[in-house]
Structure 1
Amino acid sequence: MFGNQEKVKKEFNKYKNKALEFLNNQQKTGELLTQAQSKGKEQKHSLGNALGKLERLIELIKAYSKGEYRNISKSTLATVIGAILYFVSPIDMIPDFIVGLGIVDDAAVIGYAIKKISGELDEFEKWKSKNPLD
């Protein structure tokens, strides 16, 4: 984990609390996911394997937003959206404009979120293998 795990957790929780605003707003969620996909493409070389993890989180939220997948807790939804919000924010623990380092904390938060929701994410992956997404 990047730096001090408690610091990452504290920073992440700020964004997780903001995530609740997105749970029932499909337009706002769609805009967030578009931003995340765009930034992911721009930063694909810097993100390394965190890009694949980010894409999994985006797929989960898309499936939920479309009503295709509902076997997920509100806490997990807030965790995923919080991680995505953190990722798209240009000003966080290490601002994105710091070349070479600005994406490190984003990758750490994505990894933290994946670890935190691994059980529910595994269930989503099982569901997805039986129900291919668009």
Structure 2
Amino acid sequence: MNIEQVLSPSPELVAELSNLFHAFTISRLPDLPPESEDKIFMVTARSESGVLQGGILANCYWDGLEIETLWVDSQQRGQGLGSILLENAEAFGIRHGAVISFLKTMEAKAFYESCGYEVYGVLEDRPIGTLLYHMKKRLIKAVST
């Protein structure tokens, strides 16, 4: 067997690995929706003059809502805009079948906790000297079977 490290892999090599991994995943979870059904979306807030004041980039897939980026302009922080954006994204997620929301943060742990998120994992030293919090929030109560 030949083991190699490939810097800047070609799109074909990335596709080959991704396709094989996807086939394995589907063999274990045959009803899993395809990535083409992912719902990547943004929630934005702009000033009356059109300047971006805050926004969220998120992806709704596999019964979950992944908050990838949440940013609020420094002059708008502490005024509730982040919570409004987050609530809007969560409502979109619920409408599209998400039962849980999840994210990663280094600096906004307290903010997310105030919005109902809880830590389910901590990664130290990425980057060195920091803590990366993995957080989640149940959007829909689990159904008993």
Q: Same fold (TM over 0.5)?
A: no
Q: Higher strand fraction: Structure 1 or Structure 2?
A: 2
Q: Which has the higher helix share?
A: 1
- State the TM-score, normalizing by the size of structure 1: 0.26
